[in-house]
Amino acid sequence: MARMTATTLRGATRPLTARQVEAAYKIAKERFAAIGVDTDRAVRAALAVPISVQCWQADDVRGLEVVEGAFDAGGLQATGDYPGAARSGDEIRRDFDHAARWIPGKVRFNIHAMYAETGGKRVERDELEPAHFSRWMDWAAERRLGLDFNPTCFGHPMVMDGLTLSSPRKAVREFWIRHCLACRRVARHMARRFGPCVTNIWIPDGRKDSTVDRWGPRQRLVESLDRVLARRQPGVVDSVESKLFGIGCEDYTVGSHEFYLAYAATRGVVVCFDMGHFHPTESVADKLSSALQFVDRLLLHVSRGVRWDSDHVVRATDEVEAVCDEAVRGKALGRIYWAMDYFDASINRVGAWVIGARALRKALLRAMLEPWELHRRAEYEGRGADKLALLERRDEMPLGAVWDYACHRADVPTGASWLRDLASYEKRVLSRRE
């Protein structure tokens, strides 16, 4: 085994020259053209897909609220104590400004309600207003970013007995209904400035063990959601997100996959599939061609669960590549909202943003480079061996050269060369945070 040295590390992070990138791309382009793939078109299309990047990676889902004491986080847990977590909205924005320099293609920014900036005053979640997010909006306008938004239905004293919108306590339900309504008004304001704003509702509601009443909470959740979504807000793309289980609700999750898929199909809202919110043996990719027969659009939260919903940093795994393949094969890219959802406190948080967003972008590009018609024809003609051989051949094609060209075209670093800038930023900025 080769021994890692400082020289080899420098070589791994050395940027390619424009001449090297273009020379390799010319060869790759010719090889893909031989199997009917237009790489120029694929690069343009892959870079044009908006990816919504999550604010909560920067600070381990702590938020910016002025609160007293601690309370249940609703099963959310960021593990690790890597130095440099953001402590304010300004630091989150500064960190993302640096991350965005290394992410190719079109990006959006996704904000949770708990990141309201209230000038040091405590503002209850059901009283949030667009003004509490004005600094986020001004920042996004300067950078020409789109914004997405989420109610924060966890980490609050009004999460009682692990329940929010499905609680048997009317006061609890009413509080969270008001919160969701307030968030949709904030989202409407964002939509006026930036265009459609995806506003996703996720709740932690569930029971730990041997639930005997599975009907009541779901009936109450339907009633609560119907009130929240009774009036459409211009520009607001309403979404509901399911989950298989969570810490503290291992036996029963009120907002299950079946619940929200049926709700979305009958109410005309978007259903969110989080890739970590299903059993490890389930294929989220397989669900796309079923769900999109009955709902108009999907929101995909791209995450990486390791044995459970652990929200590891996204990589271009088989699961991510399969989801991208299905979206492209079904000509469904325009019907899917792509968003990142993970929070890892064990590594450099800015680096985590970049790794995840680049991995998803690369998987989208890979899907667009597939000679799918060749594969499909072999399948329909019963030539199974041809199909499998062609799929194997696909993995031998020079994706890396096309990816480097896409990064070059987007004016971001190729390969791992961005790690040099990340190390500099960590030394200058992140390491000085306490």
Task: Give the chain's residues under pLDDT 50.
Answer: 1, 70
Q: What is the CATH number of the domain that holds 176?
A: 3.20.20.150
Active-site positions read 202, 241, 243, 274, 277, 301, 309, 311, 341
Burial of 148 (0-12, 13-18, 19+ CB in 10 A): buried
Q: Could you tell me if residue 383 is inside a domain?
A: no
Q: Could you tell me if residue 264 is inside a domain?
A: yes
List the Cα angle 426/16/396 in 5-degree steps: 110
Structure tokens at 117: 């900036």
Q: Could you tell me if residue 22 is inside a domain?
A: no
Backbone torsion region of residue 234, taken as left when φ is above 0, otherwise alpha when ψ lies between -120 and 50, otherwise beta = beta
Output the pLDDT for position 269. 98
Q: What is the pLDDT of residues 94-130, one digit of tens each?
A: 999 999 999 999 999 999 999 999 999 999 999 999 9
Q: Could you tell me if residue 6 is inside a domain?
A: no
Q: Could you tell me if residue 114 is inside a domain?
A: yes
How far apart CA 23 and CA 35 sit, in angstroms, is 20
Under a CB-based contact definition with an 8 Å cutoff, are residues 59 and 115 in contact?
no
Nearest alpha carbon to residue 160 among 147, 175, 177: 175
Q: Could you tell me if residue 433 is inside a domain?
A: no
Number of structural domains the chain divides into: 1
221, containing H or E segment = helix 215-228
pTM exceeding 0.85 = yes
How far apart CA 177 and CA 386 sit, in angstroms, is 55
Q: Could you tell me if residue 25 is inside a domain?
A: no
Q: Could you tell me if residue 266 is inside a domain?
A: yes
Structure tokens at 420: 């040099």
Under a CB-based contact definition with an 8 Å cutoff, are residues 302 and 314 in contact?
yes
Amino acid present at 149: F
Domain that holds residue 189: 45-370
b/e per residue, 411-434, with b = 16+ CB within 10 A?
A: ebbbbebbbebbeebbeeebeeee
